[in-house]
């Protein structure tokens, strides 16, 4: 019997060490199964063109300071996402949907690895692994992490700032070792979305923890003041030159409207607003129900034998310092979450920076072995073995669904392509090595798929003498037909395109 027990013990130790050393491999496999299949198979959609086209223009023009959509400066969002796209195209030497979207998937992966590496000590091997799995498999990250969208980069940077801060704080670090690296990530996040919103989701849980631990004085230190200067300095280092070298009045107007529009709720829709909170919570599916779990224990067997009625599990919870910290962390997450979602101009995605702190909170909660459901759900225990089975099945199903989506669904979605169709029409007319000039085209996502080099101009008069093909909008069609800009050569209408948004553009050639 002792030999069998010893054998089982050694087997369990070996199994634990085996998986401990292979947690990174497991996370890489989950990430690859979810985020890589068919990553570049579908044409760009939504706002992806506004993230990609300025990056293409930056590489072509060499101007990385002011992002441009067409011939117009684009100041509605800072340029980090455009820089990342431009860098991806430059580094890989390939310009397509896959290389455009890969940075988003890599940003998601970086947070999962940070949770494993930095969260191992404060969360434990189990908590850090479960947190990494929740991060990779929640609906919000799966949706945004497979697109080149701001949220994937912005939310990941905020999560990295929080993870680095929590790891340093739990290790008892102070000064620059506590604040410096989070400041870098928060400053970079400002270049993705602008100042303020993500800071609420970082400082909410940070202040809650410091208040609980009676360490709010850490916010009044020179190191924290330096961190604030660093994070805002990173943003100002771009914003000030861009403001001074552009139409400052226009830039100020755009930035003011971007901020005030969210606060004042200019386009307030009550039906959309009332669903903000449930839609934001849905980003944490399929793991959200696990947030109802409570650490603690049911009434003891002695009390049951004595006929004492079972106590409410919430009242029998262990009030350990770690548990109280976990509750303080939850409060720090929920306060900015509700504050942002209840703003009149808010959208569900505005609360996505809460994902990083929320995943850490889940890691702390699920690492405990005495979990149970609340009394109103039956109060049954949630044993570690059951927890492991739930995560195994949930993760496996998520991977299978995403692989099935890539292999079975995506091929049928090709039939619904709307953008590439217009580019094919242009490619059939304009040779690959002849520049195509677009005159004040505004936002035309199909230009990403045009084979010829695309150059932008604000007016027909700006077009160079060697122009062969150019695009205009209907407002400039008459001018394009009658211009003497290339006299004695004349222009000829070649193609008229009406896109899926009912926007029309006209392709002209210069007949010499």
pLDDT tens figures, 102-125: 999 999 999 999 999 999 889 999
Q: Find tokens 């796209």 and name the residue.
A: 85
Read off the pLDDT of each residue in 434-453 and give the average, rounded to a whole number: 92
pLDDT of residue 33: 96
Do residue 72 and residue 131 come from a single domain? yes
Could you tell me the pLDDT band of residue 19, with boundaries at 50, 70 and 90? low
Please write the tens of the pLDDT for every residue from 78-98: 999 999 999 999 999 999 999
Q: Do the domain assignments include residue 218?
A: yes
2 pLDDT more than 60: no
158 pLDDT more than 60: yes
Do residue 378 and residue 320 come from a single domain? yes
308 pLDDT more than 90: no
Contact yes or no for 58/51 (Cβ under 8 A):
no
pLDDT of residue 298: 42
Could you tell me the pLDDT band of residue 312, with boundaries at 50, 70 and 90? very low
Q: Do the domain assignments include residue 368?
A: yes
Q: Read off φ and ψ for residue 215, nearest 5 degrees.
A: -125, 30
Q: Do the domain assignments include residue 288?
A: yes
Q: Do the domain assignments include residue 14?
A: no
Q: Do the domain assignments include residue 141?
A: yes
**Burial status of residue 3 (CB atoms within 10 A of its CB: 0-12, 13-18, 19 or more):** exposed
Do residue 283 and residue 321 come from a single domain? yes
Number of domains in the chain: 2
Question: Which residues, in sequence order, are CB contacts of 143 under 8 Å at separation 6+?
Answer: 283
Tokens encoding 329 = 């962390």
pLDDT of residue 348: 87
Structural domain boundaries, residue 394: 22-266+273-411
Q: Read off the pTM.
A: 0.88
Do residue 452 and residue 372 come from a single domain? no
Q: What is the mean pLDDT of the chain?
A: 87
Do residue 332 and residue 465 come from a single domain? no
275 pLDDT more than 80: yes
∠ CA 37-31-417, rounded to 5°: 30
Read off the pLDDT of each residue in 177-188 and give the average, rounded to a whole number: 96
Q: Find the radius of gyration of the CA atoms of the chain.
A: 27
Contact yes or no for 373/382 (Cβ under 8 A):
yes
154 pLDDT more than 50: yes
Do residue 242 and residue 279 come from a single domain? yes
Do residue 388 and residue 502 come from a single domain? no
Do residue 129 and residue 221 come from a single domain? yes
Q: Give the strand pairing for 436-439 and 469-472.
A: parallel
- Three-class SS state of 26: helix
Do residue 356 and residue 449 come from a single domain? no
Please write the tens of the pLDDT for every residue from 405-422: 999 998 888 776 788 888
Task: Examine the fold and report which residue of 380, 411, 442 is the final residue of a domain before the chain moves on.
Answer: 411
Q: Do the domain assignments include residue 338?
A: yes
pLDDT of residue 177: 95
Q: Do the domain assignments include residue 9?
A: no
Do residue 371 and residue 437 come from a single domain? no
Q: Do the domain assignments include residue 305?
A: yes
263 pLDDT more than 70: no
Question: Which residues, in sequence order, are CB contacts of 94 under 8 Å at separation 6+?
Answer: none
Contact yes or no for 40/98 (Cβ under 8 A):
yes
Q: Which of 13-22, 89-98, 116-125, 379-388 has the lowest mean pLDDT?
A: 13-22
22 pLDDT more than 90: no
């Amino acid at each position: 019997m002792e030999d069998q027990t010893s054998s089982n013990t050694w087997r369990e130790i070996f199994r634990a060490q085996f998986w401990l050393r292979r947690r990174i491999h497991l996370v890489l496999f989950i990430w690859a199964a979810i985020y890589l299949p068919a990553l570049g198979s579908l044409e760009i959609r939504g706002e992806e063109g506004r993230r990609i086209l300025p990056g293409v223009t930056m590489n072509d023009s060499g101007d990385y300071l002011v992002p441009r959509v067409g011939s117009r400066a684009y100041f509605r969002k800072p340029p980090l996402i455009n820089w990342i796209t431009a860098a991806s195209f430059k580094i890989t030497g390939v310009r397509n949907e896959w290389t455009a979207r890969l940075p988003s998937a890599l940003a998601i992966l970086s947070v999962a690895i940070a949770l494993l590496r930095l969260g191992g000590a404060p969360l434990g091997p189990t908590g850090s692994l479960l947190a990494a799995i929740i991060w990779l498999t929640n609906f919000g990250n799966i949706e945004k992490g497979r697109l080149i969208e701001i949220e994937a980069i912005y939310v990941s940077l905020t999560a990295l700032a929080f993870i680095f801060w929590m790891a340093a704080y739990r290790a008892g670090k102070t000064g620059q070792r506590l604040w410096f690296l989070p400041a870098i990530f928060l400053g970079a996040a400002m270049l993705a979305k602008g100042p303020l919103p993500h800071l609420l989701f970082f400082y909410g849980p940070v202040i809650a923890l410091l208040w609980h631990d009676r360490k709010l004085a850490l916010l009044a230190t020179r190191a924290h003041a330096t961190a604030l200067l660093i994070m805002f300095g990173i943003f100002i280092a771009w914003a000030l030159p861009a403001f001074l070298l552009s139409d400052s009045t226009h830039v100020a107007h755009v930035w003011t409207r971007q901020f005030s529009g969210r606060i004042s709720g200019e386009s307030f829709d009550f039906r959309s607003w009332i669903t903000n909170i449930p839609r934001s919570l849905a980003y944490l599916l399929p793991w959200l129900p696990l947030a109802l779990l409570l650490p603690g224990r049911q009434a003891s067997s002695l009390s049951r034998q004595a006929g004492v009625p079972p106590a409410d599990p919430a009242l029998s919870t262990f009030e350990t310092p770690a548990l109280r910290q976990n509750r303080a962390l939850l409060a720090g997450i929920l306060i900015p979450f509700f504050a942002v979602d209840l703003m009149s101009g808010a959208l569900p995605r505005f609360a996505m920076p809460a994902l990083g702190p929320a995943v850490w909170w889940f890691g702390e909660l699920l690492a405990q072995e005495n979990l149970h459901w609340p009394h109103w759900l039956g109060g049954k225990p949630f044993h570690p073995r059951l927890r492991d089975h739930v995560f195994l099945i949930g993760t496996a199903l998520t991977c299978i669904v995403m692989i099935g989506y890539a292999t079975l669904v995506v091929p049928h979605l090709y039939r619904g392509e709307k953008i590439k169709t217009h580019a094919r029409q242009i490619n059939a007319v304009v040779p690959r090595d002849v520049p195509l000039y677009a005159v004040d085209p505004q936002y035309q996502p199909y230009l990403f798929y045009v084979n010829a080099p695309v150059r932008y101009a604000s007016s027909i008069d700006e077009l160079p003498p060697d122009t062969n093909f150019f695009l205009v909008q209907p407002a400039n069609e008459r001018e394009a037909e009658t211009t003497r800009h290339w006299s004695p050569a004349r222009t000829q209408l070649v193609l008229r395109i009406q896109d899926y948004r009912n926007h029309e553009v006209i392709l002209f050639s210069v007949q010499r």
